């Protein structure tokens, strides 16, 4: 479990980026952190990952205080973070060199096993023979995710990971996230893309460095005005459901996924 208690962060004196954040993220939960540019989303992700430390308050990772230097190594092993630009996280040209770099203290057999497993999880061929810098941005981002997974963290933080990727690459990332959820990872997903909030179980809205709203995904249909208040677009899937409802066609979803929506439409057609 991740717990933030009265967390404040500032880059300059008297200029708080985050103010008195109180937030609990349960094990195996996926949360989306959304908000306008400058609301503090990425800063919050870096705090949770332990990249920066709070100026005030405490952050606990499985009851380990992130500000305690004695906990640094244990917390580092638990956390994995993926940023927007994969080129900023890739060091080597060769796939095996890249994935094994952070595993150098392990045996050759264990390194090989972890590389194969992590590549399977991101749907990449272990026999990729191109230089990594010749891959598409979507493929590079999947390499970065594989590298993070190879370290076997418990918590995953994605900081707008699809910003630079085309629509096909985005869909592949979404599929990976859904599969990681079923495997039991705890995921913090930072985004400004309307469709991506549907990946989460709970949506955290930041406004001027504060938690303005916490919305369960199951309650999104009753929170459209709230989302619009913070300039957050309504997912297109919800717009479709609303249009169908106006035509007298009722679609009830549990997971709010495109696949589930398509399945419901097929049921109606086959009736």
What is the predicted pLDDT for the residue at 129? 66
> Residue 13 pLDDT more than 80?
no
In which residue are the tokens 């096909």 written?
168
Spatial neighbors of 59 by CB under 8 A, at least 6 apart, are 2, 3, 4, 5, 7, 47, 48, 65, 66, 67
pLDDT tens readout for residues 242-266: 888 888 888 887 777 777 888 888 8
- The neighbour count for residue 60, using CB atoms within 10 Å, is 18
Residue 118 tokens, joined: 């992590």
- The neighbour count for residue 112, using CB atoms within 10 Å, is 15
* Cβ atoms 132, 101 nearer than 8 A: no
Top-confidence residue, 4 or 229: 4
Of 58, 51, 21, nearest to 205 by C-alpha is: 21
Ranges for all domains in the chain classified under CATH 3.40.50.300: 2-88+154-233
> Residue 127 pLDDT more than 70?
no
What is the predicted pLDDT for the residue at 77? 93
Spatial neighbors of 67 by CB under 8 A, at least 6 apart, are 53, 54, 58, 59
Distance CA 215, CA 218 (A): 8
* Cβ atoms 167, 10 nearer than 8 A: no
Top-confidence residue, 135 or 257: 135
> Residue 145 pLDDT more than 80?
yes
Residue 187 tokens, joined: 């995921």
Alpha helices (H) in 88-201, listed in sequence order: 95-100, 108-121, 137-150, 167-182
Mean pLDDT of the chain: 91
pLDDT tens readout for residues 146-204: 999 999 999 999 999 999 999 999 999 999 999 999 999 999 999 988 889 999 999 99
Alpha helices (H) in the chain, listed in sequence order: 41-49, 72-78, 95-100, 108-121, 137-150, 167-182, 224-229, 236-246, 258-270
> Residue 78 pLDDT more than 80?
yes
Distance CA 32, CA 190 (A): 6
Quick one: what percent of the chain has pLDDT higher than 90?
A: 69
* 2-88+154-233 topology per CATH: Rossmann fold (3.40.50)
* Cβ atoms 165, 196 nearer than 8 A: no
What is the predicted pLDDT for the residue at 25? 98
Spatial neighbors of 126 by CB under 8 A, at least 6 apart, are 95, 115, 116, 119
């Amino acid at each position: 479990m991740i717990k933030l208690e009265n967390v404040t962060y500032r880059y300059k004196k008297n200029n708080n980026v985050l103010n008195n954040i109180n937030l609990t993220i349960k094990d195996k939960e996926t949360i989306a952190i959304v908000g306008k540019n400058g609301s503090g989303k990425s800063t919050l992700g870096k705090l949770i990952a332990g990249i920066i430390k709070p100026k005030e308050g405490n952050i606990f990772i499985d009851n380990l205080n992130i500000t305690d230097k004695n906990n640094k190594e244990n917390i580092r092993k638990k956390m994995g973070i993926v940023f927007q630009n994969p080129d900023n996280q890739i060091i080597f040209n060769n796939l095996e060199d890249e994935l094994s770099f952070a595993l150098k203290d392990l045996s050759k057999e264990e390194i090989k096993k972890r590389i194969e497993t992590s590549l399977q999880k991101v749907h990449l061929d272990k026999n990729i023979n191109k230089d990594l810098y010749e891959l598409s941005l979507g493929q590079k981002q999947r390499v970065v995710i594989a590298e993070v997974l190879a370290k076997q963290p418990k918590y995953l933080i994605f900081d707008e990971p699809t910003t630079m990727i085309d629509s096909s690459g985005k869909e592949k990332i979404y599929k990976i996230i859904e599969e990681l959820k079923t495997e039991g990872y705890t995921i913090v997903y930072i985004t400004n893309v309307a469709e991506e909030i549907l990946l989460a179980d709970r949506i955290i809205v930041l406004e001027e460095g504060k938690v303005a709203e916490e919305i369960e995904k199951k309650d999104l249909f009753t929170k459209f005005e709230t989302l619009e208040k913070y300039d957050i677009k309504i997912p297109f899937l919800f717009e479709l459901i609303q249009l169908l409802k106006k035509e007298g066609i009722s679609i009830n979803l549990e997971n709010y996924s495109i696949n589930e929506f398509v399945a419901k439409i097929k049921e109606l057609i086959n009736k």
